[in-house]
Every structure is written in C-alpha cells, then in structure tokens.
C-alpha cells in the first residue's frame, strides 16, 4: 500500500529545503504486470490496485500536491508519461491499459 501523505511531505521537503520552487513535474513511473498476464475475468483486486496505485494514483497525487503551489506562481509544467497501451489494448493487460488511459484523462483535466 502506498502512503500518499508521505508523498506530500516529500514534495514539501523538496520544495522548501532543496529547491526554491518546483516548476516542472515529470511523472514517469510505471509498472506492468508482465508476470501475471491476466485476462480481465481472472484479474483480482490486488493486481488492479498494484498497477493503478503506481501508474495512476501516484501521478494524480504528485500532480495535486505540486500544481497548487505552481498555480500561485502562475508558472507550471506537468509532463505525464503514458503508454501506447492507452490506445492499443492487449489481451491480458486490462489493468495496465486502464491505468494508462486514466493517466491521459487526468493529464487532459489538469491542462484545462
């Protein structure tokens, strides 16, 4: 289980102690469940959560935590690295493709 509160603390520390401001956030973390090439009818909650937490939720909460201070300075860039899997779906990768499509959705929402 990921600890999103510690993620926010890490960002605060980076911004306050290491850098004066965070102006650019690049979300490039991602995992695929290649060892458990699982069709949707066999996918369990633990497998889904593992992929969604890393590929989507971390990006969402890092963006949420940094965009607030970026908007106050009126300068910001958020770069989210997704995957072709958001457009081309593969059997056995419902969790991975879904996480990358969710990432595209939040990227568009942040842009607006």
Which residues are identified as catalytic?
Answer: 96
Q: DSSP letters of 18-74?
A: I-S---EEEE------GGG-B-GGG--HHHHHHHHIIIIIHHHHHHHHHHHHHHHHT
Q: What is the DSSP-derived secondary structure letter of residue 16?
A: I
Most distant CA pair in the chain: distance in Å? Answer: 48
Which residues 6+ apart lie within 8 Å of 7 measured at CB? 58, 61, 62, 65
């Amino acid at each position: 289980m990921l600890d999103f509160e510690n993620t926010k603390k890490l960002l605060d520390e980076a911004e306050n102690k290491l850098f004066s401001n965070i102006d650019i956030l690049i979300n490039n973390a991602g995992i695929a469940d290649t060892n458990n090439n699982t069709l949707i009818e066999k996918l369990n909650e633990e497998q889904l959560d593992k992929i969604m937490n890393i590929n989507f939720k971390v990006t969402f909460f890092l963006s949420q935590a940094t965009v607030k201070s970026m908007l106050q300075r009126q300068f910001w860039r958020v770069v989210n690295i997704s995957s072709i899997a958001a457009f081309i779906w593969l059997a056995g990768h419902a969790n991975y493709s879904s996480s990358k499509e969710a990432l595209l959705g939040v990227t568009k929402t942040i842009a607006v």
